[in-house]
Amino acid sequence: INAEYMGARYVRITLLEPSGVLLGAFDESLSAYTSRTFAALGVEVRSEAVVEVTETEIVLQDGTEISYGLTVWGTGVVPGRLIGSLPARRSERSQRVLV
């Protein structure tokens, strides 16, 4: 990825991941690689939870206010309530059911 092509000179990209772990459902080496790649591209990764979103700012749990022009909001995938309630062994990192 060419950071200049992405407009990195003109755009600030902040990724908010409250768990503090990028791609937590995957192998730790992929998470570490992703963190290094984002850092090299100038992507700021924050681990605080979002408490409020206004028309112009995102407010984090620690009180930080991040001004924005465009927000892309994505959510992770979690198991449904039935699967989540089963008494099964789970992986420590992703809480996936171990089979």
- Lookup result for tokens 């407009």: 7
Cα 21 from Cα 46, distance rounded (Å)? 10
CA distances 62 to 20, 38, 58, 70, Å, are: 14, 22, 12, 22
Q: Residue range 14-25: average pLDDT?
A: 86
| pLDDT tens-digit series, residues 55-81 | 999 999 999 999 998 888 877 666 667
Confidence band (pLDDT; 50, 70, 90) for 45? very high
Higher pLDDT among residues 59 and 12, named by residue? 59
First to last CA, the chain: 37
